[in-house]
Amino acid sequence: MTKKKEAKKSGLLYERKNFFKEAPQSEHEEAFKYAKGFKTFLDECKTVRETVAWTEKVLKKHKFTTLDAKAAKDKVYTIFRGKTMAMAILGSEPLSNGCNIVGAHIDTPRIYLKQNPLYEDGPSGMLCGRTHYYGGIKKYQWVSTPLSLHGVVIKANGEIVDISIGEKDDDPVFVIPDLLPHLARKEQYSKSLGDAIDASRLNVVFGGMHDLDKDEKHSLKLYCVKLLNERYGIDENDFISAELELVPAGKARDAGFDGSMVLGYGQDDRICAYTSLTALLANLNAKPKRTMIVYFSDKEEVGSQGNTGAQSVFLQDFVASLLRHKGESDSSTNLRRTIMNSMVLSADVSAAVNPNYPGVHELQNATLFNHGIALSKFTGSGGKSGCNDANAEFVAKVIRIFNQAGVYWQMAELGKVDEGGGGTIAYILANQGAEVIDCGVGLMGMHSLYELCSKADLYNTFKGYKAFLVNN
Ligand code: MN
Ligand code: MN
């Protein structure tokens, strides 16, 4: 036996394991099979609202009811304002002993249409739309790429019109045209990457045909608005209140010669939403002692505030409703105790080592593709500023749960100390007294139009969440 093999066999040293090297073929096949469902989910859930609606459909199929339904039993969910939701399978123990919670965020970086977006551009003679970006995007990525338009329009009579243009094969798509390299010397090349494309230049082209029945003034705008009116019954006034988002058009794809990866938009953090939802559903017949909760929050990419963000009272209210549903006191003391006794996985992505930029990581503590679900004891920036720092006892407990379930896992750190930083919803739930650790999939190209994940990590994250939720 070589020295290396001997050291490994002794079990005295930490060594993360590569799923594709060490797991049996049958597990590889399971991972590939699981990824198919994930790609469909990414295709059908391009926005927060679409994710909530899709998830509700799946829950209903599995006999979940809303928590306030008369028929509500042990599989329940609540949706709030169409943008945040929580779902639970009730355990046999009192809720005040604590729950097992997996919380992901379902908002993603994107580009909104402004409230009064349409304008006729003089120099180009085109109809365009003004935009406002949401979350941490690199603006240069959003130009010269096909975009689809999703969202809701609320008509004057209160009627809600769902919009989705650009996903079907025969739909038109939209584009924010970039400047040709031939003429970009002063406008772009002389500037820094962050400044080269100004937010005011992220205007989308909507059309160029005129309404021939009208005089020249506004006939450009009128032609497109008339089309929208025929198709959706809306007019320009309805844009004022609407929430319309531009997102990358098209489907998630397998990536690589070996097809071992998934490339697709919105994986931060819908990859953790999908894995936590399917983990809950895989525990349908588990008859757990502790109540299992999966929570989808909104607004994480802009600070988690607002009535649908993780800083809102929604999750606490959901737990209070569960207490009442189980016949327990929902007093503030009991609610507090329930949350303080709870264990939470803050299900969010981390940054995997990118072959083009290994230097931003300290490799010994960085996430690597194919080595399983990534646990981040802390996030934040600088000297752990603004972070949740999971307690050693809890970190050890989660590792124990993963090891018992044969889950491939690794410790993760976002980047080198002082290289940058980022946050999640972990600290918010930890502020309420729960034990919380960040735990999810390592991505390459996070926040880009097309984020990349490994099917090995996707599958092991599902397995990890499943084992955590059902753990007593
Ligand atoms: Mn995230
Ligand atoms: Mn993010």
Q: How far is the CA of 310 from the centre of ligand 2 (A)?
A: 14
Q: How far is the CA of 53 from the centre of ligand 2 (A)?
A: 22
Q: How far is the CA of 424 from the centre of ligand 1 (A)?
A: 6
Q: How far is the CA of 222 from the centre of ligand 1 (A)?
A: 40
Q: How far is the CA of 108 from the centre of ligand 2 (A)?
A: 7
C-alpha distance from residue 75 to each of 92, 117, 135, 345 (Å): 13, 43, 34, 20
Q: How far is the CA of 229 from the centre of ligand 2 (A)?
A: 36
222 backbone dihedrals φ, ψ, rounded to 5°: -60, -40
Residue 440 CA: which ligand is closest? 1
Q: How far is the CA of 71 from the centre of ligand 1 (A)?
A: 35
Q: How far is the CA of 379 from the centre of ligand 2 (A)?
A: 12
In this structure, which residues have their CB less than 5 angstroms from ion ligand 2?
Answer: 268
Q: How far is the CA of 124 from the centre of ligand 2 (A)?
A: 35
Residue 302 CA: which ligand is closest? 2
Please give the CATH number for the structural domain made up of 110-248.
Answer: 2.30.250.10
Low-confidence ranges of the chain (pLDDT < 50): none
**Closest by Cα among 462, 443, 439 to 452:** 443
**Closest by Cα among 342, 344, 368, 373 to 355:** 368
64 backbone dihedrals φ, ψ, rounded to 5°: -80, 150
Q: How far is the CA of 271 from the centre of ligand 1 (A)?
A: 10
8 A C-beta contact, residue 403 and residue 467: no
Amino acid 1: pLDDT? 64
C-alpha distance from residue 118 to each of 147, 221, 238, 252, 279 (Å): 17, 7, 12, 30, 43
Residue 108 CA: which ligand is closest? 2
Q: How far is the CA of 312 from the centre of ligand 2 (A)?
A: 19
10 Å CB burial of residue 432 (0-12, 13-18, 19+) is: middle
Q: How far is the CA of 247 from the centre of ligand 1 (A)?
A: 17
Q: How far is the CA of 410 from the centre of ligand 2 (A)?
A: 20
Residue 110 CA: which ligand is closest? 2
Q: How far is the CA of 266 from the centre of ligand 2 (A)?
A: 9
363 backbone dihedrals φ, ψ, rounded to 5°: -60, -30
8 A C-beta contact, residue 174 and residue 148: yes
Q: How far is the CA of 365 from the centre of ligand 1 (A)?
A: 19
Amino acid 154: pLDDT? 96
Rounded Cα gap, residues 225 and 326, in angstroms: 52
Residue 136 CA: which ligand is closest? 2
Q: How many CA atoms lie within 13 A of 49 on its CB side?
A: 14
Residue showing tokens 């349409």: 118
3-state secondary structure the chain: CCHHHHHHHHCCCCCCCCHHHHCCHHHHHHHHHHHHHHHHHHHHCCCHHHHHHHHHHHHHHCCCEECCCCCCCCEEEEEECCCEEEEEECCCCCHHHCEEEEEEECCCCEEEEEEEEEEEECCCCEEEEEEEEECCCCHHHHCCCCEEEEEEEECCCCCEEEEEECCCCCCCCEECCCCCHHHCHHHHHCCCHHHHCCHHHCCEEEECCCCCCCCCCCHHHHHHHHHHHHHHCCCHHHHCCCEEEEEECCCCEEECCCCCEEEECCHHHHHHHHHHHHHHHHCCCCCCCCEEEEEEEECHHHCCCCCCECCCCHHHHHHHHHHHHCCCCCCHHHHHHHHHCCEEEEECCEEECCCCCHHHCCHHHCECCCCCEEEECECEECCCECCCECCHHHHHHHHHHHHHCCCCEEECCCCCCCCCEECCCHHHHHHCCCEEEEEECEEECCCCCCEEEEHHHHHHHHHHHHHHHHCC
Residue 425 CA: which ligand is closest? 1
Q: To 5 degrees, how large is the angle CA 202–CA 206–CA 207?
A: 135
Q: How far is the CA of 447 from the centre of ligand 2 (A)?
A: 6
Q: How far is the CA of 299 from the centre of ligand 1 (A)?
A: 10
Is the domain covering 3-108+265-470 a CATH 3.40.630.10 domain? yes
Residue 379 CA: which ligand is closest? 1
Rounded Cα gap, residues 351 and 376, in angstroms: 11
Domain edges within the chain:
3-108+265-470, 110-248
Q: How far is the CA of 107 from the centre of ligand 2 (A)?
A: 8
Total-model pTM: 0.97
Beta bridge partners of 153: 161
Residue 271 CA: which ligand is closest? 1
C-alpha distance from residue 394 to each of 305, 338, 423 (Å): 27, 17, 19
Rounded Cα gap, residues 278 and 119, in angstroms: 44
Give the number of other Cβ atoms within 10 Å of residue 301's Cβ. Answer: 19
Q: How far is the CA of 135 from the centre of ligand 2 (A)?
A: 8
Rounded Cα gap, residues 97 and 410, in angstroms: 29
How far out from the chain centre does Cα 99 lie? 23
10 Å CB burial of residue 69 (0-12, 13-18, 19+) is: exposed
Q: How far is the CA of 105 from the centre of ligand 2 (A)?
A: 9
Q: How far is the CA of 70 from the centre of ligand 2 (A)?
A: 38
In this structure, which residues have their CB less than 5 angstroms from ion ligand 1?
Answer: 268-269, 348
Q: How far is the CA of 184 from the centre of ligand 1 (A)?
A: 34
Amino acid 382: pLDDT? 84
Q: How far is the CA of 204 from the centre of ligand 2 (A)?
A: 24
C-alpha distance from residue 182 to each of 176, 185, 199, 420 (Å): 18, 7, 22, 34
Amino acid 16: pLDDT? 92
Q: How far is the CA of 106 from the centre of ligand 1 (A)?
A: 8
Q: How far is the CA of 444 from the centre of ligand 1 (A)?
A: 13
